[in-house]
């Protein structure tokens, strides 16, 4: 038998490791604790895997499919840390301004916390089933005509859509929500997605088929309740000969349907209702109408000059100092100089252009400091940046203020 297995390619050089691999796969799928229907599919595929020669191409296809089923977090999730005070501090630490956005996010966390408390109270106060419920048919009462109470519905998390110009902090807001909840964070870039199969997955009949971006994200984070950032949802492709990816997103983002999301590769429903979806867009006008209807729009306006100055002082300058190997003692820039950079060199809604300008100033001072250090004249280095120095560092002013 060993000689036959060796000839068929179903036996490893160390003595018959295929059986060990199959047993390991079976243990892995059992540890994943999938639903009964998924478990029955996995067992059927394991039996097929035993009959298929290891050298066959179908062997790798079946093995990959079982590994995907075992990697999906069917029953594992993180516990939410629903502390409103800590979440408020987290938002204030990560973002300056954006008061309306913070208020809406705190309201979401508060409602989620109250829902969890209410569900726990119902579970504790629910009466246990009595023996009279299992009476024999001869003594059973006729069915009541009363309407049964509605079953407890799932916690439908709202699909938040952050709309605003580039550089206003949409992505970092989603990261702050994940930190405040204590959940894992995963970003899915939808810009340029033109194929419906990238959302729903490829059918297993195709060569090199894979699950969709949603199931792949679940495999990566390893929990069933992460925070998913659907980045640039306004740039997702429309209807073409590859299908309509915007229409495929409808099932993902619909709270009434996503608990039975059908990925073509998995072939069985996957529960997405525990995921908190946060989408970002530069404009809501290019989003599919039915898709936009499933999301709650939160607009992020541009920053004022004072807000930009505070963001530069608290976040951008320390970041650029670390990037360009400088210390706080090697760069001194006052508020008037920062305001001059904001008003004369950047006129944008976000702060990305401001960060690039501050990076240019830091690089210019890094060159000056490196030259003085090579000449052993570090004491002659002047860390101060004046308004008059900006033209030599950043060039001619791009914008001229007309105010007196």
Domain extents in the chain: 2-71, 84-114+154-299, 305-394
**Which residues make beta-bridge pairs with 186?**
228
What average pLDDT does range 29-41 have in this prediction? 89
Pair of tokens at residue 57: 């191409």
Nearest to 99 by CA among 338, 341, 304: 304
Reduced to 3 states (helix: H, G, I; strand: E, B; else coil), residue 71 is helix
Pair of tokens at residue 14: 């160390």
Residues in the chain: 404
Identical fold at 84-114+154-299 and 305-394? no
Percent of the chain with pLDDT over 70: 84
Reduced to 3 states (helix: H, G, I; strand: E, B; else coil), residue 191 is coil
pLDDT at residue 147 greater than cutoff 80: no
Beta carbons of 156 and 276 less than 8 angstroms apart: no
CATH number of 84-114+154-299: 3.40.50.300
Tell me the pairing of strands 261-262 and 269-270.
Answer: antiparallel
What average pLDDT does range 348-362 have in this prediction? 91
- What pLDDT, on the 0 to 100 scale, is given for residue 280? 92
Instruction: Calculate the alpha carbon distances from 146 to 134, 151, 237, 291 in Å.
Output: 19, 15, 49, 38
Exposure pattern of 1-40 as b/e (b: 16+ CB <10 Å)?
eeeebeeeebbeeeeeebeeebeebbeebeebebeeebbe
pLDDT at residue 205 greater than cutoff 50: yes
Please state, in angstroms and rounded to a whole number, the distance separating the CA atoms of residues 223 and 76. 5
pLDDT at residue 359 greater than cutoff 90: yes
Pair of tokens at residue 220: 């990566």
Fold of the domain built from segment(s) 305-394: Helicase, Ruva Protein; domain 3 (1.10.8)
Tell me the pairing of strands 227-231 and 269-270.
Answer: unpaired
pTM of the full structure: 0.79
């Amino acid at each position: 038998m060993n000689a036959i297995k060796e000839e068929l390619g179903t036996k490893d050089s160390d003595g018959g490791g295929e059986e060990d691999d199959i047993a390991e796969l079976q243990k892995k799928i059992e540890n994943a604790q999938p639903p009964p229907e998924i478990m029955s599919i996995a067992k059927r595929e394991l039996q097929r895997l035993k009959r298929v020669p290891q050298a066959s191409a179908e062997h790798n296809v079946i093995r990959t499919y079982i590994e995907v089923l075992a990697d999906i977090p069917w029953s594992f999730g993180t516990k939410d840390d629903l502390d409103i005070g800590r979440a408020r501090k987290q938002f204030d630490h990560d973002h300056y301004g954006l008061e309306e956005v913070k208020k809406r996010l705190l309201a979401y966390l508060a409602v989620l916390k109250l829902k969890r408390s209410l569900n726990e109270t119902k579970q504790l106060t629910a009466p246990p089933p009595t023996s009279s419920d299992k009476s024999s048919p001869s003594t059973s009462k006729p069915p009541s005509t009363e309407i049964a109470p509605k079953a407890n519905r799932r916690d439908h998390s709202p699909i938040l859509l952050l709309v605003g110009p580039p550089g206003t902090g949409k992505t970092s807001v989603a990261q702050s929500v994940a930190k405040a909840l204590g959940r894992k964070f995963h970003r899915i870039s939808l810009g340029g997605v033109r194929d419906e199969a990238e959302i729903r997955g490829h059918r297993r009949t195709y060569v090199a088929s894979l699950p969709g971006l949603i199931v792949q994200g679940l495999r990566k984070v390893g929990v069933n309740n992460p925070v998913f950032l659907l980045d640039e949802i306004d740039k997702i492709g429309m209807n073409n000969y590859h299908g309509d990816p915007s229409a495929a997103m409808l099932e993902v983002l619909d709270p009434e349907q996503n608990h039975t999301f059908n990925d073509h590769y998995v072939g069985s429903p996957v529960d997405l209702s525990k995921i908190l979806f946060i989408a970002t867009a530069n404009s809501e006008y290019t989003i599919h109408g039915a898709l936009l209807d499933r999301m709650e729009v939160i607009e992020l306006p541009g920053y004022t000059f004072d807000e930009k100055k505070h963001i530069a002082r608290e976040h951008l300058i320390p970041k650029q100092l670390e990037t360009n190997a400088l210390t706080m003692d090697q760069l001194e820039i006052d508020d008037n100089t920062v305001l001059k950079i904001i008003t004369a060199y950047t006129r944008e809604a976000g702060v990305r252009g401001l960060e690039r300008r501050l990076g240019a100033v830091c690089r210019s001072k890094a060159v000056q400091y490196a030259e003085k250090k090579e000449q052993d004249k570090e004491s002659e280095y002047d860390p101060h940046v004046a308004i008059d120095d900006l033209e030599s560092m950043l060039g001619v002013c791009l914008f001229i203020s007309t105010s007196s």
